[in-house]
Amino acid sequence: MMLLSLLICLESAYRFYNLQQQENLLLEEKARLTEERATLEQKKEDLEDPTKLEKKARDELGLVKPGEVPYVR
């Protein structure tokens, strides 16, 4: 009977430990996803701003407006 009680206590402790580990992993993932979401929201805002969108098109894609002469830096 004592052995059975000990086994039940050990199993409960093991389950509790595993649940804590899972909770820690989930909290880390939540923090990472929250940071990623903030980054994506900022990128979305940047793409909705015509001035920032034009700068990105010029800098990254080398686009120019009609009549402008492109030059390479």
What sections of 49-63 are H helices per DSSP?
Answer: 50-61
Kindly report, residue by residue over 6-48, the tens digit of the pLDDT.
Answer: 888 999 999 999 999 999 999 999 999 999 999 999 999 998 9
**Tens-place pLDDT, residues 51-70:** 999 999 888 888 888 888 88
* Residue 72 vs residues 39, 60, 62, 63, 64: alpha-carbon distances, Å: 30, 12, 9, 12, 12
pLDDT of residue 17: 97
- pLDDT class of 3 with cuts at 50, 70, 90: confident
Q: Which two tokens stand for residue 21?
A: 């580990």
Higher pLDDT, 72 or 23: 23
